[in-house]
Amino acid sequence: MLSEDQCEELFMTTMEVLERTGAEVLNQEARATFEKAGCWIDGNRVRIPSALSEWAVRTAPSRVTVCDRKGKRALRLETTNAFYGPGQGNAYVIDPLTDERRKPLKADVVNTGVVCDGLKNVDFAMSNGLPTDVKESMAEVHAFEALVTHTTKPIVQSIQGIEQAQAILDIATVVAGSLKEFQKNPFVIFLIETEGTLVHSDETMAKVMFAAQNGVPYIYATKLVAGETSPSTPAGAIVVALADVLVGVLLGQLVRQGTPVIAGGFFTINDKENDILPCGAPEVSLMGTGMVNALRFLKIPSFGFAGATDAKESDAQMGLEAAFSILHAGMSGTSLIHGCGQLEYGLSGSLALLVMGDEVMGMTRRIIKGIEVNEERLARGVIDSVQPGGHYLGEEHTLKYFRNEFWWPTVMNRTRIDDWTANGAKTLGQRVKEKAQSIIKTHQPEKLPEEILSQIKGILDKADAR
Protein backbone atom coordinates (compact mmCIF):
# COMPACT_ATOMS: atom_id res chain seq x y z
CA MET A 1 0.00 0.00 0.00
CA LEU A 2 2.88 2.37 0.80
CA SER A 3 5.86 3.03 -1.43
CA GLU A 4 9.42 2.73 -0.16
CA ASP A 5 9.69 6.53 -0.23
CA GLN A 6 6.60 6.82 1.97
CA CYS A 7 7.92 4.17 4.39
CA GLU A 8 11.24 6.00 4.58
CA GLU A 9 9.44 9.26 5.35
CA LEU A 10 7.46 7.55 8.11
CA PHE A 11 10.68 6.20 9.65
CA MET A 12 12.48 9.54 9.40
CA THR A 13 9.55 11.26 11.12
CA THR A 14 9.50 8.55 13.79
CA MET A 15 13.19 9.10 14.55
CA GLU A 16 12.55 12.84 14.79
CA VAL A 17 9.75 12.20 17.30
CA LEU A 18 11.96 9.94 19.43
CA GLU A 19 14.86 12.39 19.30
CA ARG A 20 12.87 15.60 19.79
CA THR A 21 9.85 14.59 21.88
CA GLY A 22 11.00 11.29 23.32
CA ALA A 23 8.99 8.85 25.42
CA GLU A 24 8.08 8.44 29.07
CA VAL A 25 9.93 5.43 30.52
CA LEU A 26 8.81 4.65 34.06
CA ASN A 27 11.33 1.89 34.81
CA GLN A 28 14.56 3.06 36.48
CA GLU A 29 16.71 0.18 35.20
CA ALA A 30 15.48 0.74 31.66
CA ARG A 31 16.24 4.48 31.88
CA ALA A 32 19.75 3.65 33.12
CA THR A 33 20.21 1.26 30.18
CA PHE A 34 19.09 3.94 27.72
CA GLU A 35 21.32 6.56 29.33
CA LYS A 36 24.38 4.30 29.21
CA ALA A 37 23.75 3.80 25.48
CA GLY A 38 23.74 7.55 24.84
CA CYS A 39 20.11 8.62 25.24
CA TRP A 40 19.23 11.92 26.91
CA ILE A 41 17.33 11.57 30.19
CA ASP A 42 15.21 14.25 31.82
CA GLY A 43 13.25 12.79 34.73
CA ASN A 44 11.24 9.96 33.18
CA ARG A 45 11.57 11.38 29.67
CA VAL A 46 13.96 9.50 27.38
CA ARG A 47 15.05 11.08 24.11
CA ILE A 48 16.69 8.71 21.66
CA PRO A 49 19.35 9.85 19.14
CA SER A 50 18.49 8.84 15.61
CA ALA A 51 21.71 6.85 15.31
CA LEU A 52 20.52 4.58 18.13
CA SER A 53 17.12 4.03 16.48
CA GLU A 54 18.90 3.11 13.25
CA TRP A 55 21.25 0.79 15.16
CA ALA A 56 18.31 -0.99 16.82
CA VAL A 57 16.60 -1.56 13.47
CA ARG A 58 19.81 -2.96 11.95
CA THR A 59 20.58 -5.15 14.97
CA ALA A 60 17.14 -6.70 15.53
CA PRO A 61 16.87 -9.91 13.48
CA SER A 62 15.15 -9.47 10.13
CA ARG A 63 13.75 -12.97 10.47
CA VAL A 64 12.50 -14.88 13.50
CA THR A 65 11.86 -18.61 13.39
CA VAL A 66 9.46 -20.18 15.88
CA CYS A 67 9.09 -23.92 16.36
CA ASP A 68 6.28 -26.17 17.46
CA ARG A 69 6.32 -27.97 20.80
CA LYS A 70 8.34 -30.83 19.29
CA GLY A 71 11.12 -28.54 18.04
CA LYS A 72 10.08 -28.60 14.37
CA ARG A 73 10.43 -25.29 12.51
CA ALA A 74 6.88 -24.00 12.18
CA LEU A 75 6.71 -20.20 11.71
CA ARG A 76 9.28 -18.51 9.52
CA LEU A 77 8.61 -14.85 10.21
CA GLU A 78 10.38 -13.33 7.22
CA THR A 79 9.61 -11.43 4.00
CA THR A 80 5.84 -11.64 3.34
CA ASN A 81 5.12 -14.98 5.06
CA ALA A 82 1.81 -14.69 6.93
CA PHE A 83 0.66 -16.87 9.84
CA TYR A 84 -2.72 -16.84 11.58
CA GLY A 85 -3.98 -17.44 15.09
CA PRO A 86 -6.83 -16.60 17.48
CA GLY A 87 -7.34 -13.49 19.56
CA GLN A 88 -6.73 -13.17 23.27
CA GLY A 89 -7.84 -11.38 26.40
CA ASN A 90 -11.61 -11.62 25.92
CA ALA A 91 -13.74 -10.74 28.94
CA TYR A 92 -16.34 -13.34 27.89
CA VAL A 93 -16.58 -16.49 25.83
CA ILE A 94 -19.43 -18.01 23.85
CA ASP A 95 -19.77 -21.55 25.19
CA PRO A 96 -19.22 -23.79 22.13
CA LEU A 97 -21.73 -26.37 23.39
CA THR A 98 -24.51 -24.21 24.85
CA ASP A 99 -24.03 -20.79 23.16
CA GLU A 100 -24.07 -19.20 26.62
CA ARG A 101 -22.14 -15.94 26.94
CA ARG A 102 -20.17 -16.16 30.19
CA LYS A 103 -16.84 -15.52 31.88
CA PRO A 104 -13.99 -17.72 30.57
CA LEU A 105 -12.84 -20.78 32.52
CA LYS A 106 -9.67 -22.83 32.26
CA ALA A 107 -11.67 -25.48 30.41
CA ASP A 108 -12.31 -22.88 27.69
CA VAL A 109 -8.57 -22.39 27.22
CA VAL A 110 -8.23 -26.18 26.95
CA ASN A 111 -10.92 -26.17 24.23
CA THR A 112 -9.10 -23.35 22.43
CA GLY A 113 -5.88 -25.38 22.42
CA VAL A 114 -7.68 -28.45 21.07
CA VAL A 115 -9.48 -26.49 18.33
CA CYS A 116 -6.28 -24.66 17.29
CA ASP A 117 -4.51 -28.03 17.15
CA GLY A 118 -7.27 -29.50 15.00
CA LEU A 119 -7.58 -26.68 12.43
CA LYS A 120 -5.35 -26.87 9.36
CA ASN A 121 -4.88 -23.17 8.67
CA VAL A 122 -4.51 -21.89 12.24
CA ASP A 123 -0.76 -21.70 12.74
CA PHE A 124 -0.39 -20.77 16.41
CA ALA A 125 -2.43 -20.77 19.60
CA MET A 126 -3.40 -18.05 22.06
CA SER A 127 -5.73 -18.06 25.02
CA ASN A 128 -9.01 -16.50 23.88
CA GLY A 129 -9.79 -15.44 27.45
CA LEU A 130 -8.01 -15.57 30.80
CA PRO A 131 -9.55 -18.20 33.10
CA THR A 132 -11.55 -16.74 35.97
CA ASP A 133 -11.70 -19.99 37.98
CA VAL A 134 -8.03 -19.72 39.05
CA LYS A 135 -6.15 -17.13 41.07
CA GLU A 136 -6.17 -13.87 39.07
CA SER A 137 -2.42 -13.34 39.45
CA MET A 138 -1.85 -16.83 38.02
CA ALA A 139 -4.32 -16.70 35.14
CA GLU A 140 -1.66 -16.38 32.41
CA VAL A 141 0.36 -19.29 33.82
CA HIS A 142 -2.69 -21.57 33.95
CA ALA A 143 -3.70 -20.46 30.45
CA PHE A 144 -0.24 -21.38 29.14
CA GLU A 145 -0.31 -24.75 30.89
CA ALA A 146 -3.70 -25.47 29.31
CA LEU A 147 -2.41 -24.59 25.83
CA VAL A 148 0.97 -26.32 25.99
CA THR A 149 -0.66 -29.57 27.11
CA HIS A 150 -3.39 -29.49 24.45
CA THR A 151 -1.62 -28.40 21.26
CA THR A 152 1.76 -28.94 19.64
CA LYS A 153 1.48 -25.65 17.72
CA PRO A 154 3.53 -22.55 18.68
CA ILE A 155 2.01 -20.38 21.40
CA VAL A 156 1.80 -16.61 21.69
CA GLN A 157 1.49 -15.97 25.41
CA SER A 158 0.63 -12.68 27.09
CA ILE A 159 2.51 -11.99 30.33
CA GLN A 160 1.38 -9.65 33.09
CA GLY A 161 4.38 -9.74 35.43
CA ILE A 162 7.87 -11.12 35.92
CA GLU A 163 6.85 -13.89 38.34
CA GLN A 164 4.29 -15.18 35.87
CA ALA A 165 6.78 -14.86 33.02
CA GLN A 166 9.33 -16.89 34.98
CA ALA A 167 6.80 -19.65 35.70
CA ILE A 168 5.81 -19.79 32.01
CA LEU A 169 9.46 -19.93 30.98
CA ASP A 170 10.08 -22.69 33.54
CA ILE A 171 7.29 -24.76 31.99
CA ALA A 172 8.61 -24.11 28.47
CA THR A 173 12.11 -25.11 29.60
CA VAL A 174 10.83 -28.39 31.04
CA VAL A 175 9.06 -29.17 27.75
CA ALA A 176 12.13 -28.25 25.65
CA GLY A 177 14.58 -30.08 27.92
CA SER A 178 16.67 -27.07 28.95
CA LEU A 179 16.78 -23.30 28.60
CA LYS A 180 19.46 -23.62 25.93
CA GLU A 181 17.33 -26.02 23.90
CA PHE A 182 14.35 -23.69 24.24
CA GLN A 183 16.43 -20.74 23.03
CA LYS A 184 17.59 -22.78 20.02
CA ASN A 185 14.07 -23.93 19.15
CA PRO A 186 11.60 -21.55 20.84
CA PHE A 187 7.94 -22.53 20.68
CA VAL A 188 6.62 -19.67 22.82
CA ILE A 189 6.52 -15.95 22.03
CA PHE A 190 5.89 -13.50 24.85
CA LEU A 191 3.27 -10.87 24.05
CA ILE A 192 4.15 -7.55 25.72
CA GLU A 193 1.64 -4.76 25.19
CA THR A 194 2.63 -1.16 25.80
CA GLU A 195 0.17 1.47 26.98
CA GLY A 196 0.41 3.53 23.78
CA THR A 197 0.90 7.30 23.46
CA LEU A 198 4.65 7.06 24.07
CA VAL A 199 4.34 5.94 27.71
CA HIS A 200 6.11 2.75 28.81
CA SER A 201 5.27 1.53 32.31
CA ASP A 202 7.65 0.13 34.90
CA GLU A 203 6.25 -3.39 34.44
CA THR A 204 6.20 -3.25 30.63
CA MET A 205 9.88 -2.34 30.46
CA ALA A 206 10.70 -5.01 33.06
CA LYS A 207 9.02 -7.64 30.88
CA VAL A 208 11.05 -6.57 27.83
CA MET A 209 14.28 -6.85 29.82
CA PHE A 210 13.27 -10.26 31.19
CA ALA A 211 12.51 -11.60 27.70
CA ALA A 212 15.80 -10.25 26.31
CA GLN A 213 17.90 -11.54 29.21
CA ASN A 214 16.48 -15.03 28.72
CA GLY A 215 16.54 -15.05 24.92
CA VAL A 216 12.76 -15.41 24.59
CA PRO A 217 11.23 -14.05 21.36
CA TYR A 218 8.80 -11.28 22.22
CA ILE A 219 6.17 -9.14 20.55
CA TYR A 220 6.16 -5.46 21.45
CA ALA A 221 2.72 -4.19 20.53
CA THR A 222 0.87 -0.94 20.94
CA LYS A 223 -2.84 -0.09 20.81
CA LEU A 224 -3.94 3.27 19.43
CA VAL A 225 -7.25 5.02 18.87
CA ALA A 226 -6.95 7.43 15.94
CA GLY A 227 -7.95 10.95 16.95
CA GLU A 228 -7.63 10.20 20.67
CA THR A 229 -4.39 8.43 21.60
CA SER A 230 -2.78 9.21 18.24
CA PRO A 231 -3.30 11.74 15.44
CA SER A 232 -6.49 11.15 13.45
CA THR A 233 -4.58 10.76 10.19
CA PRO A 234 -3.38 7.22 9.39
CA ALA A 235 0.15 8.52 8.68
CA GLY A 236 0.33 10.29 12.05
CA ALA A 237 -1.04 7.24 13.86
CA ILE A 238 1.60 5.00 12.25
CA VAL A 239 4.36 7.42 13.29
CA VAL A 240 3.24 7.25 16.94
CA ALA A 241 2.94 3.45 16.72
CA LEU A 242 6.42 3.09 15.24
CA ALA A 243 7.86 5.37 17.91
CA ASP A 244 6.11 3.32 20.59
CA VAL A 245 7.39 -0.05 19.40
CA LEU A 246 10.92 1.13 18.59
CA VAL A 247 11.41 1.94 22.28
CA GLY A 248 10.74 -1.74 23.05
CA VAL A 249 12.89 -2.92 20.13
CA LEU A 250 15.83 -0.74 21.21
CA LEU A 251 15.68 -1.80 24.86
CA GLY A 252 15.71 -5.48 23.92
CA GLN A 253 18.75 -5.03 21.68
CA LEU A 254 20.61 -3.03 24.36
CA VAL A 255 20.00 -5.80 26.92
CA ARG A 256 20.91 -8.63 24.56
CA GLN A 257 22.02 -7.88 21.04
CA GLY A 258 20.17 -9.99 18.51
CA THR A 259 17.16 -10.66 20.72
CA PRO A 260 14.32 -11.85 18.45
CA VAL A 261 11.53 -9.27 18.43
CA ILE A 262 8.28 -8.80 16.52
CA ALA A 263 6.62 -5.37 16.47
CA GLY A 264 3.13 -4.14 15.70
CA GLY A 265 -0.18 -3.30 17.20
CA PHE A 266 -3.87 -2.71 16.93
CA PHE A 267 -5.35 0.47 15.46
CA THR A 268 -8.97 1.52 15.66
CA ILE A 269 -11.30 4.51 15.92
CA ASN A 270 -13.84 5.54 18.55
CA ASP A 271 -17.42 4.95 17.45
CA LYS A 272 -18.88 7.80 19.49
CA GLU A 273 -22.46 6.94 18.60
CA ASN A 274 -22.18 3.50 20.24
CA ASP A 275 -19.26 4.24 22.58
CA ILE A 276 -17.17 1.29 21.36
CA LEU A 277 -13.75 0.73 19.82
CA PRO A 278 -14.69 -1.35 16.76
CA CYS A 279 -12.72 -4.36 15.51
CA GLY A 280 -14.44 -4.60 12.14
CA ALA A 281 -13.94 -1.03 10.93
CA PRO A 282 -11.98 -0.68 7.67
CA GLU A 283 -9.57 1.67 9.44
CA VAL A 284 -8.33 -1.29 11.50
CA SER A 285 -7.05 -2.96 8.33
CA LEU A 286 -6.02 0.29 6.63
CA MET A 287 -3.73 1.50 9.41
CA GLY A 288 -2.62 -2.04 10.21
CA THR A 289 -1.44 -2.52 6.63
CA GLY A 290 0.44 0.79 6.68
CA MET A 291 2.21 -0.29 9.87
CA VAL A 292 3.10 -3.65 8.32
CA ASN A 293 4.48 -1.91 5.21
CA ALA A 294 6.67 0.33 7.36
CA LEU A 295 7.94 -2.60 9.46
CA ARG A 296 8.75 -4.64 6.36
CA PHE A 297 10.71 -1.63 5.04
CA LEU A 298 12.66 -1.75 8.32
CA LYS A 299 12.98 -5.57 8.04
CA ILE A 300 11.30 -6.16 11.41
CA PRO A 301 8.73 -9.01 11.59
CA SER A 302 5.22 -7.68 12.16
CA PHE A 303 2.29 -8.41 14.46
CA GLY A 304 -1.17 -7.54 13.18
CA PHE A 305 -4.87 -8.04 13.76
CA ALA A 306 -7.60 -9.74 11.71
CA GLY A 307 -10.52 -12.13 11.87
CA ALA A 308 -12.55 -10.27 14.52
CA THR A 309 -15.96 -8.67 14.27
CA ASP A 310 -18.30 -6.25 15.97
CA ALA A 311 -21.18 -8.70 15.42
CA LYS A 312 -22.74 -10.44 18.43
CA GLU A 313 -23.35 -13.88 16.90
CA SER A 314 -22.68 -16.02 13.83
CA ASP A 315 -24.32 -13.90 11.15
CA ALA A 316 -23.56 -12.21 7.84
CA GLN A 317 -21.83 -9.25 9.52
CA MET A 318 -19.49 -11.65 11.31
CA GLY A 319 -18.53 -13.30 8.03
CA LEU A 320 -18.04 -10.05 6.14
CA GLU A 321 -15.89 -8.27 8.72
CA ALA A 322 -13.77 -11.30 9.58
CA ALA A 323 -13.20 -12.35 5.97
CA PHE A 324 -12.23 -8.89 4.70
CA SER A 325 -9.66 -8.41 7.45
CA ILE A 326 -8.19 -11.93 7.11
CA LEU A 327 -7.73 -11.41 3.36
CA HIS A 328 -6.31 -7.90 3.86
CA ALA A 329 -3.80 -8.94 6.54
CA GLY A 330 -2.65 -11.97 4.55
CA MET A 331 -2.19 -10.06 1.31
CA SER A 332 -0.23 -7.33 3.11
CA GLY A 333 2.25 -9.95 4.36
CA THR A 334 1.71 -9.50 8.11
CA SER A 335 4.03 -11.96 9.86
CA LEU A 336 1.80 -12.90 12.82
CA ILE A 337 -1.93 -12.25 12.51
CA HIS A 338 -3.97 -12.59 15.68
CA GLY A 339 -7.58 -11.74 16.54
CA CYS A 340 -9.58 -14.46 14.81
CA GLY A 341 -12.49 -15.66 16.92
CA GLN A 342 -13.31 -12.38 18.65
CA LEU A 343 -16.95 -11.25 18.61
CA GLU A 344 -18.58 -8.13 20.00
CA TYR A 345 -15.70 -5.69 19.31
CA GLY A 346 -13.26 -8.05 21.03
CA LEU A 347 -15.24 -8.67 24.23
CA SER A 348 -16.27 -12.27 23.54
CA GLY A 349 -14.31 -15.24 22.24
CA SER A 350 -16.00 -17.61 19.78
CA LEU A 351 -14.51 -20.92 18.65
CA ALA A 352 -17.19 -21.07 15.94
CA LEU A 353 -15.81 -17.85 14.46
CA LEU A 354 -12.29 -19.32 14.69
CA VAL A 355 -13.49 -22.32 12.66
CA MET A 356 -15.02 -20.02 10.05
CA GLY A 357 -11.81 -18.00 10.04
CA ASP A 358 -9.82 -21.17 9.35
CA GLU A 359 -11.83 -21.60 6.15
CA VAL A 360 -11.17 -18.00 5.08
CA MET A 361 -7.47 -18.40 5.88
CA GLY A 362 -7.35 -21.35 3.47
CA MET A 363 -9.08 -19.35 0.75
CA THR A 364 -6.74 -16.41 1.36
CA ARG A 365 -3.67 -18.61 1.07
CA ARG A 366 -4.90 -19.96 -2.25
CA ILE A 367 -5.37 -16.41 -3.55
CA ILE A 368 -1.94 -15.35 -2.29
CA LYS A 369 -0.37 -18.41 -3.93
CA GLY A 370 -1.42 -16.94 -7.27
CA ILE A 371 -0.90 -18.57 -10.67
CA GLU A 372 2.30 -20.45 -11.35
CA VAL A 373 3.38 -20.26 -14.97
CA ASN A 374 5.84 -22.83 -16.31
CA GLU A 375 6.05 -25.12 -19.31
CA GLU A 376 4.15 -28.01 -17.74
CA ARG A 377 1.36 -25.82 -16.33
CA LEU A 378 0.89 -24.06 -19.67
CA ALA A 379 -0.24 -27.50 -20.93
CA ARG A 380 0.43 -26.92 -24.62
CA GLY A 381 0.61 -30.63 -25.46
CA VAL A 382 -2.44 -31.47 -23.34
CA ILE A 383 -4.55 -28.83 -25.12
CA ASP A 384 -3.45 -30.21 -28.49
CA SER A 385 -4.13 -33.78 -27.39
CA VAL A 386 -7.69 -33.03 -26.22
CA GLN A 387 -8.57 -30.97 -29.32
CA PRO A 388 -11.49 -28.53 -29.59
CA GLY A 389 -14.72 -29.83 -28.09
CA GLY A 390 -12.95 -32.45 -25.98
CA HIS A 391 -12.70 -32.65 -22.19
CA TYR A 392 -9.80 -32.93 -19.78
CA LEU A 393 -11.18 -35.30 -17.11
CA GLY A 394 -9.32 -38.32 -18.45
CA GLU A 395 -5.95 -36.62 -18.81
CA GLU A 396 -3.04 -37.51 -16.51
CA HIS A 397 -2.27 -33.77 -16.36
CA THR A 398 -5.68 -33.17 -14.74
CA LEU A 399 -5.19 -35.97 -12.24
CA LYS A 400 -1.79 -34.58 -11.31
CA TYR A 401 -2.84 -30.99 -10.69
CA PHE A 402 -6.52 -30.68 -9.81
CA ARG A 403 -6.11 -31.42 -6.08
CA ASN A 404 -3.35 -28.92 -5.33
CA GLU A 405 -4.30 -26.27 -7.90
CA PHE A 406 -7.85 -25.95 -6.55
CA TRP A 407 -9.05 -25.00 -3.08
CA TRP A 408 -11.56 -27.33 -1.47
CA PRO A 409 -13.91 -26.13 1.31
CA THR A 410 -14.50 -27.86 4.64
CA VAL A 411 -17.48 -25.88 5.98
CA MET A 412 -18.61 -23.83 2.97
CA ASN A 413 -21.51 -25.59 1.22
CA ARG A 414 -21.50 -26.36 -2.51
CA THR A 415 -24.13 -29.10 -2.60
CA ARG A 416 -27.29 -28.92 -4.71
CA ILE A 417 -30.31 -27.48 -2.91
CA ASP A 418 -32.05 -30.87 -2.61
CA ASP A 419 -29.01 -32.40 -0.92
CA TRP A 420 -28.59 -29.32 1.29
CA THR A 421 -32.23 -29.55 2.35
CA ALA A 422 -32.00 -33.29 2.99
CA ASN A 423 -29.01 -32.66 5.27
CA GLY A 424 -30.95 -30.23 7.45
CA ALA A 425 -30.66 -26.98 5.41
CA LYS A 426 -27.93 -25.80 7.80
CA THR A 427 -26.53 -22.30 7.59
CA LEU A 428 -22.79 -21.60 7.70
CA GLY A 429 -23.24 -20.43 11.29
CA GLN A 430 -24.69 -23.83 12.25
CA ARG A 431 -22.00 -25.77 10.40
CA VAL A 432 -19.08 -23.93 12.01
CA LYS A 433 -20.61 -24.47 15.47
CA GLU A 434 -20.97 -28.18 14.75
CA LYS A 435 -17.39 -28.44 13.49
CA ALA A 436 -16.07 -26.69 16.60
CA GLN A 437 -18.05 -29.08 18.78
CA SER A 438 -16.80 -32.07 16.79
CA ILE A 439 -13.15 -31.05 17.18
CA ILE A 440 -13.58 -30.54 20.93
CA LYS A 441 -15.23 -33.96 21.32
CA THR A 442 -13.10 -36.05 18.98
CA HIS A 443 -9.71 -34.45 18.31
CA GLN A 444 -6.86 -35.93 20.33
CA PRO A 445 -3.81 -33.64 20.54
CA GLU A 446 -0.46 -35.33 21.05
CA LYS A 447 0.13 -35.72 24.78
CA LEU A 448 3.24 -34.77 26.68
CA PRO A 449 5.04 -37.56 28.58
CA GLU A 450 3.81 -38.16 32.15
CA GLU A 451 7.21 -37.18 33.56
CA ILE A 452 7.00 -33.74 31.93
CA LEU A 453 3.36 -33.31 33.00
CA SER A 454 4.40 -34.06 36.57
CA GLN A 455 7.15 -31.42 36.45
CA ILE A 456 4.72 -28.87 35.00
CA LYS A 457 2.28 -29.58 37.83
CA GLY A 458 5.09 -28.98 40.32
CA ILE A 459 5.85 -25.59 38.75
CA LEU A 460 2.15 -24.66 38.82
CA ASP A 461 1.75 -25.69 42.46
CA LYS A 462 4.83 -23.73 43.49
CA ALA A 463 3.69 -20.62 41.59
CA ASP A 464 0.15 -20.92 43.01
CA ALA A 465 1.57 -21.11 46.52
CA ARG A 466 3.47 -17.83 46.00
Residues 88, 176, single domain; the answer is: yes
Asked if the structure places residue 258 within a domain, the reply is: yes
Residues 112, 240, single domain; the answer is: yes
Asked if the structure places residue 463 within a domain, the reply is: no
Residues 245, 194, single domain; the answer is: yes
- Based on C-alpha coordinates, what's the Rg of the chain? 23
Backbone angles phi, psi at 401, to 5 degrees: -110, -20
Query: Could you tell me the pLDDT band of residue 95, with boundaries at 50, 70 and 90?
Result: very high
Alpha carbons 300 and 120: distance in angstroms, whole number: 27
Asked if the structure places residue 113 within a domain, the reply is: yes
147-202 residue pLDDT tens = 999 999 999 999 989 999 999 999 999 999 999 999 999 999 999 999 888 999 99
The answer to whether residues 224 and 269 touch, using CB atoms and an 8 Å cutoff, is no
Q: How many CB atoms lie within 10 A of CB 24?
A: 15
Residues 401, 262, single domain; the answer is: no
Residues 283, 383, single domain; the answer is: no
Residues 262, 395, single domain; the answer is: no
The CATH number for 219's domain is 3.20.20.480
Report the percentage of the chain scoring pLDDT > 90.
Answer: 92
Asked if the structure places residue 263 within a domain, the reply is: yes
Q: How many CB atoms lie within 10 A of CB 61?
A: 18
Containing domain of residue 157, as a range?
Answer: 59-369
**Could you give the residue ranges of the DSSP H alpha helices within 406-427?**
417-422
Asked if the structure places residue 104 within a domain, the reply is: yes
Q: What is the total count of domains within the chain?
A: 2
**pLDDT (0 to 100) of residue 195:** 80
Alpha carbons 237 and 254: distance in angstroms, whole number: 26
385-411 residue pLDDT tens = 999 999 999 899 999 998 888 899 999
The answer to whether residues 104 and 128 touch, using CB atoms and an 8 Å cutoff, is yes
Residues 242, 353, single domain; the answer is: yes
The answer to whether residues 143 and 157 touch, using CB atoms and an 8 Å cutoff, is yes
Contacts by residues 454-458 (CB-CB < 8 Å, ≥ 24 positions apart): 455/174, 456/145, 456/148, 456/149, 456/171, 456/174, 456/175
How far, in Å, are 99, 118, 449 from residue 122 at the CA level?
22, 9, 25
